[in-house]
Amino acid sequence: MTMDSREGENFQLFFKHDYDLASSVNVVSGITVLDLLYSDSGIHGNSASEDMGSSRCDLPGRNKSEDRSEATFSFELHNASKIKDTQYSPPCYIRGLPWKIMIIPSHNRTQIAGKSLGFFLQCNAECESKNWSCMAVAELRLLSFNPDQEPHKRKIKHLFNVKENDWGFSYFLPWSEIAEPEKGYLKNDCLIFEVHVIAEAPHGVLWDSKKHTGYVGLKNQGATCYMNSLLQTLFFTNQLRKAVYQMPTEYDDASKSVALALQRVFYELQFSSSPVGTKKLTKSFGWDTIDSFMQHDVQEFLRVLLDKLECKMKGTSVEGTVPKLFEGKMLSYIKCKNIEVTSKRTETFYDIQLSVKGNKNIYESFKNYIAPETLDGDNKYDAGEEYGLQDAEKGVIFLSFPPVLHLHLMRFQYDPVTDCSVKFNDRFEFDDELFLDSYLAEREETDAAYRLHAVLVHSGDNHNGHYVVYINPLLDGKWCKFDDDVVSCCTKTEAIEHNYGGSDDEISLNDKQNSNAYMLVYIRVSEIPKVLETIIETDIPSELIERLDEERRIEMIRKAERTDQTMYFTIQIVLEDSFEGHSAAGYFDPDNVQYKTFRAKKTDTVGSLLGTICDSFRVPLAKMRIWPLVQRRQSMRMIYFDFNNEMDSALSHIIDTTSTWTIFLEVLDADVVQTIDQFDPRHDILIFMKYFDPAQNRLNYIGYSQYCLDTRLSDLANEVRFKLGLSDRIELNIYEELGPNSINKLTNANDSIEYSLNVSGCDIQGYILIFEKKIVDDKLTLPTCDDYFLDLLYKVEVTFVDKNNPNDAGFPLELSQRHTYEQMASAVAKKIDADPNKIQFFKCQSYKDLPGNPLSCSYDGNLKDLLAYNKPKSSKKLFYQKIQMNINDLESKRQFKCNVVSPDYREEKELILYVDKNDTVADLIEEASKHVEFSENSTRRLRLVEIVNFKLLPIPNENLPLENLQYNNETNYIHHRSLRIEEVAPEELEIREDEMLIPVSHFWKEIYNSFGIPFFIKAKNGEILGDLQARMQKKLNVPQKEWEKYKFILITNSRADYISDDHIINLNDFRVDENHVDGPLPYIGLEHVNKSHKRSHNSCLEKSIKIYN
């Protein structure tokens, strides 16, 4: 029997559940496995056989399909001591891929016996695809014939792919240990290797999710796994899906309607048989490409999406669906211990954030969530004027839980020391069932009993990672794993226990050290029939189905057209008319030429193409000739094509291009009697002629013709004089145009064309010769052809962009790279009608299209040096701004970019100030007052504020020298540092001893997700937060309904605590040392959704997520 044989008596495929051989009771032909293992003749009773090995593969109690996720298979290696080459077991199919045991003999002189065995697991080795991958864990075992001896085993975890399709140990066990009789590994020169494999569904190979699970996945756009996981969860919340279908969208804009895009995704998830795309959905969000490559938080996306759906459903038949499904209520309270005073407030929630750190399981986390906090000491509760400060308890209790309960496990938390988020991978247990009656103030009509519906899992750290979701769609115990476009069946243990987090002591696909549950979805038992009601096609509005079917039909037509395009060539024909008026190098300007375009099938013949051309131009074949154009080095050249001999050849055999073929069509006028001359490349040459006119500073096209190779240059010069009407006594210089910026002077007019151009019978044709008068006028800017082409070499098009207008596309100017600063400034000033001394220029940042450092007016380099800062192969760009003062005066001052804030702290505009370098903060404020527009009732008092990461720093003293400010125009955007000029409010003109200005900043969900415009508010020691909130609301002009959604948190030193409107303001929480200048001040955080559509220059670093439409 050969190694790869899968037939015959010596190869048996049988089943095994556990690697403990003594416990196996599987029977083959009436003989137990134990009988086979411990018989003298070996497993197959053929110890004398020279066969190298046999194999078995099984998974008892489960489907024997090749698509299973887990299997144990083994390989019996005969004549083990004699093998010299790598040995392979027959394949065992897991997840549709072939897996083999691979044994490699190795010799190591440093080992005592000098010999060992390598043991590897190989996957899909013969696959030709370059993109496949499959994550798997396995235990490699060398079994013992001794029933009392444990197998020698080692574990592996690997992402198998085309580059690393095998994984294991090159030194699994030394031969000296293998041969020890008491261990029983070797019997009759036979070894048994076994592998237990658990594999995920593969990526990059044919995996039919619909066939294996009944469901399909979602395509990942780059970093949208978080969105895909959540969309699958919402899709299987059937009651929500049905409501989404019912939203009226028949008149919505297909590109901007979030509702329609979500309907489309849900419909395709329900009825499609292949992975569903989400690009139309993210486009409806108003996202651009970069948004799809930014990792976001799944819980944050859930809140934003549900808020958007709730708004879209208002005024429709499904209004209120979102709160009915997801909204619960809780009671926040403060209860005095010594008096009968209690403050209560009812709040709604769509999700509950449960702490992971310090809690073993979900019940402990709920217990800590409702555990009361004692208010005493400096943190006593202000019970009003009658009772004053009192010891009290502050806490929450749940009033009701929703039908669908979203639990956010707070694995990411803010670390005040590092000012960033940290992920906790601690073990945190949760169950398939959840009972929450004990956390309610009063029992509800039905028990608060829940079943686990989905587990969203995050793998990675706080900087990057990947989301997948495990869902039990019908709550029937049949779990599936949704990993973007791949859906696979999984066990309940894989979905739940393997995602607890913590240590990784057992064999599993999840790396528990950084892969764990992040969000849980439970469905109330009493609501399961409603929430998971079956949705059939008749539940979907017929007009929606018709619209989506029509969209799909149109897409299929477009797809067919794109496929059709690969079967055609595009033929571009250019005529001599396009050469006239072209004054630069080459035949014509390819960017502006008007081509006559045809489409021809790649299977069409040359003859059929020529027939089409003849019909289109109404010219007989005898009066035309085609000259294909090809790129040679940096210039375009024509090649000779003998179409008479290629009439029956297919275009695909002639055209050396994938899509477009450009042709110069030589055509005789209709009134010309004769036919086109025959052309023999061995004796003839095609030449195009130009004339350089130094007075007009341009090249003029003067025609082309066919010449014999032995024609002298002097004959061509005579022809040019005749065409231009020049005297025979005027001598001409002749140049060959070699490329866009290169010419070669032909010195001897008596030489032949063949000798001068160094050509002989070459297929390359269409040589360009340039003629000029020998007489030179030195007063001209470019007196000779050499000068003209040298100028072309240095000519560059530069786009000048208004630095202060972010939407300015700029204007192009054609300049010379040899231009000085003065020449460039004069050219720009002429274009924009400005004084060149009142324009400031800025270099382009290296590899960014952003303004960099200002350019000094005394710059002594040339334009070429300035453009070196642009990206290679990109358009050349410089920035400018008009200024009010002379550029020389400006450069003696220091520039400060400050933001001026509106009275409601919603908008900022940039203000650029110029002050002397030795000025103070007071001088900067005085200069700002000249440019700020004060309101009618203004205090006309300004102050300077420093901001870092959307948080406020201490207000700088007005006597502070400006050089002591940690400020740099060019690097502040990197460190998120800025200056702001703001008006002092009337109530802030006087600050008493028991009052102070305290900072307030905006954030969403996590403290590091700061955004918006922070501000100061005057607070009084001992007042309650509710009074301060009223002043904040008035200052920000926020509507009451929106303000009710705001939450408040106190951030002091290393603590971050949520506070209620009964919280007593203690100014000591906000006081800092006088020398505190580097970091943000303690502040009050306002937690709310960022509804600003404006993206700052730090948007790629801000982690807040927005839906714009």
Q: Which residues are catalytic?
A: 225, 466
Extract the tokens encoding 1084.
Answer: 């009050």
CA distance 1098 to 1104: 11
Extract the tokens encoding 819.
Answer: 């231009």
CA distance 582 to 590: 11
CA distance 342 to 354: 26
Extract the tokens encoding 209.
Answer: 């999710």
| CB 24, CB 16: distance < 8 Å | yes
Q: For 222-238, give one letter per residue: b (16+ CB within 10 A) or e.
A: ebbbbbbbbbbbbbbbb
Strand partners, 816: 795
Extract the tokens encoding 1099.
Answer: 């948007």
Rg (CA), the chain: 40
How many angstroms separate the most distant Cα atoms in the chain?
122
CA distance 548 to 267: 9
Residue 1037 to residues 6, 680, 897, 904, 906, Cα–Cα distance (Å):
79, 86, 27, 6, 9
Count of positions (residues) in the chain: 1109
Determine how β-strand 742-746 pairs with β-strand 660-667: unpaired
Angle 536-540-543 from CA coordinates, rounded to 5°? 145
Extract the tokens encoding 654.
Answer: 């002639």
Alpha helix positions (H), 841-989: 863-866, 887-890, 921-929, 972-975
CA distance 993 to 1002: 27
CA distance 124 to 132: 9
CA distance 263 to 247: 9
- Three-state DSSP at 645 gives helix
Residue 517 to residues 7, 62, 434, 468, 509, Cα–Cα distance (Å):
46, 27, 16, 10, 14
| CB 578, CB 670: distance < 8 Å | no
Nearest to 745, CA basis, from 754, 756, 759, 755: 756
- Three-state DSSP at 271 gives helix
Extract the tokens encoding 903.
Answer: 């009275």
Q: What is the 3-state secondary structure (H, E, C) of 389-401?
A: EECEEEEEEEEEC
Provide DSSP, 880-918: EEE-SS-HHHHTTSEEEEEEEEPTTSS-EEEEEEEE-TT
Strand partners, 104: 118
Angle formed by the axes of helices 542-565 and 258-271, to 10°?
80
Q: What are phi and psi of 229, to 5 degrees?
A: -65, -45
Alpha carbon of residue 258 to chain centroid: 21
CA distance 679 to 706: 8
Extract the tokens encoding 538.
Answer: 């008749």
The residues near 117 (Cβ < 8 Å, ≥ 6 apart) are: 80, 103, 104, 105, 106, 172, 173, 175, 178, 191
Nearest to 402, CA basis, from 329, 331, 328: 328
Q: What are phi and psi of 645, to 5 degrees?
A: -90, -5
